[in-house]
């Protein structure tokens, strides 16, 4: 089963929202025959809504997986002080997605198939969790010595694996069209320079997270980690040196958000240096450091999304 922290970090690789939508109808048919503003914005909306759904639902499912693990331990007579709390969660963002936009063209059918699997697995996991929770609450495990808990855990894990696979496949398939839609939307955008530069920082940061995720479950490689640090630091420095000078006054308030993004990126680099130092001493990435990195990433991501929306 996946480590909880690792799932969060894996999601970080795909969680950068694309927004700053602006009138693009004059551009006409462009990359992937997006057909201007309406099609580009539909793709961007699907991307943003799906990312929010995937991220929030994944965290909910990870809590269920943890509960299932502890349920097996407790039902078989093991010592479990407090069962993990799983709060009922409705994926409201998922409800916003009415259809897969036609702008995905040749990938539309495959995305629809994966999306249907994604929704079905999310629903199945909740149903199986309700069944497991009822079993634990009623202490029915005293009758079968935890046999049903073990069965339900395996079923939940199987559904979760299918859910994550579908989610990751969707992210891979929607990226090309989303990038193309972003080009349409940003072509004449007053903040284009700053958005693209900030996105470059996020891409570099995502590369860091990818490397650290692999090293967390494997072996710490200081040389590789330091190389990624240097690449990110270079991108961050270039972005921070940009003077936010957008003449359109409706975007004047974005200056503070741009500065906040750069500040959070700087804080991430501070946390990253600590991780490299601690990991070098320990010979592996400590759990506490990976949690701090994940939290710091979320802060950078939140600042980025606030800036580009």
Per-residue HEC secondary structure of 38-107 comes to HHHHHHHHHHHHHHHHHHHHHHHHHHHHHHHHHHHHHHCCCCCCCCCCCCCCCCHHHHHCCCCCHHHHHH
Measured CA to CA, the distance from residue 303 to residue 263 in angstroms comes to 9
Taking CA 139 as the corner, what is the angle to CA 80 and CA 72, rounded to the nearest 5 degrees?
45
Q: What confidence category does residue 20 fall into, taking pLDDT thresholds of 50, 70 and 90? A: low
Domains of the chain: 21-187 (1.20.120), 189-309 (1.20.58.820)
pLDDT, one tens digit per residue, over 172-198 is 999 889 888 888 888 888 999 999 899
Per-residue pLDDT at 67 exceeds 70? yes
Chain mean position to CA 107: 21
Tell me how far apart the terminal alpha carbons of the chain are, to the nearest angstrom.
35
**pTM (whole model) above 0.75:** yes
Lookup: tokens for 233: 């630091």
pLDDT, one tens digit per residue, over 235-274 is 999 999 999 999 889 999 999 999 999 999 999 999 999 9
pLDDT, one tens digit per residue, over 195-214 is 989 999 998 998 999 899 88
| DSSP code per residue over 185-238 | HHTT-TTHHHHHHHHHHHHHHHHHHHHHHHHHHS---HHHHHHHHHHHHHHHHH
Helices 287-308 + 254-282 axis angle, to 10: 160
pLDDT of residue 235: 96
């Amino acid at each position: 089963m996946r480590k909880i922290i690792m799932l969060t970090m894996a999601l970080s690789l795909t969680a950068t929202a694309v927004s700053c939508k602006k009138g693009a109808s004059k551009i006409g048919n462009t990359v992937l025959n997006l057909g201007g503003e309406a099609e580009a914005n539909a793709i961007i909306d699907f991307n943003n809504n799906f990312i929010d759904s995937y991220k929030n639902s994944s965290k909910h499912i990870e809590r269920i997986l943890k509960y299932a693990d502890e349920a097996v331990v407790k039902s078989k007579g093991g010592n479990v002080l407090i069962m993990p709390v799983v709060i009922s969660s409705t994926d409201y963002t998922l409800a916003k997605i009415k259809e897969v936009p036609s702008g995905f063209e040749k990938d539309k059918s495959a995305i629809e198939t994966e999306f249907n699997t994604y929704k079905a697995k999310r629903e199945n996991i909740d149903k199986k969790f309700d069944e497991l929770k009822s079993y634990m609450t009623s202490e029915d495990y005293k009758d079968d010595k935890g046999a049903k808990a073990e069965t339900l855990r395996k079923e939940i894990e199987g559904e979760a694996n299918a859910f994550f696979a579908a989610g990751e496949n969707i992210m891979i398939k929607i990226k090309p069209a989303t990038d193309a839609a972003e080009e349409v939307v940003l072509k004449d955008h007053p903040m284009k320079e700053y958005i693209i530069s900030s996105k470059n920082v996020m891409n570099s940061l995502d590369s860091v997270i990818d490397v650290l995720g692999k090293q967390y479950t494997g072996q710490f490689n200081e040389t590789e980690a330091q190389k990624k640090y240097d690449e990110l630091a270079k991108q961050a420095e270039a972005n921070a040196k940009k003077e936010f000078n957008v003449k359109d006054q409706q975007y004047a308030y974005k200056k503070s958000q741009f500065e906040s993004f750069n500040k959070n990126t700087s804080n991430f680099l501070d946390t990253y240096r600590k991780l490299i130092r601690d990991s070098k001493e320990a010979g592996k990435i400590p759990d506490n450091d990976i949690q701090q990195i994940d939290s710091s990433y979320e802060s950078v991501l939140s600042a980025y999304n606030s800036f580009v929306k």
